[in-house]
Amino acid sequence: MSASLINTEIKPFKATAFHNGKFVEVSDADTKGKWSVFFFYPADFTFVCPTELGDLADNYAEFQKLGVEIYGVSTDTHFTHKAWHDTSETIGKIKYPLIGDPTHLLSRNFGVLIEEAGLAERGTFVVDPAGKIQIIEVNAGGIGRNAEELLRKVKAAQYVAAHPGEVCPAKWKEGEATLAPSLDLVGKI
């Protein structure tokens, strides 16, 4: 990523996803008015990827309680997503859409395409109801992500959005104290 995508609006897209046993069309319009997570991963039928996607599946109900939709995205096709879903116990439990990005449009739009490999980096993007990116995390290929930490970050982003003038300090968890930046705090933290 050459320039930060924080607070930029996601670019228009249309793609096909495998979701709840069907092929469905997904677009940027589906994200408007709600929180979304775009969870890019390199490829189906690999090693770290199913552990991450399974972890998200295990925590999906918690994301849904917060009004968050998760979109798993790789440069595989929606057909490959179905085959993986049908043959892997871990992937079989996924209830969120798995978007196929064989044209690499989404991966390029979010700045996570590894051009020479035709695969996506492990990129996570939290998008607010206005379609603006609020959180970006990109991990090296061998480093898996943690759904519970992502959930904590989403809660912080939602809190800050709902409470202008307040910010969440390091390790903030729901219900803990926040900060109200002011001249009085300068040099006292």
Q: Given 49, 68, 91, 94, which residue is catalytic?
A: 49
Find where tokens 């189906």 sit: 44
Residue positions counted in the chain: 189
Quick one: tokens of 64? Answer: 């849904």
Quick one: tokens of 23? Answer: 């092929």
Find where tokens 């930490």 sit: 149
| CA terminus-to-terminus distance, the chain | 32
- The Cα–Cα gap between 44 and 37 comes to 19
Residue 49 annotated among the catalytic residues of the structure: yes
Active site residues per annotation: 49
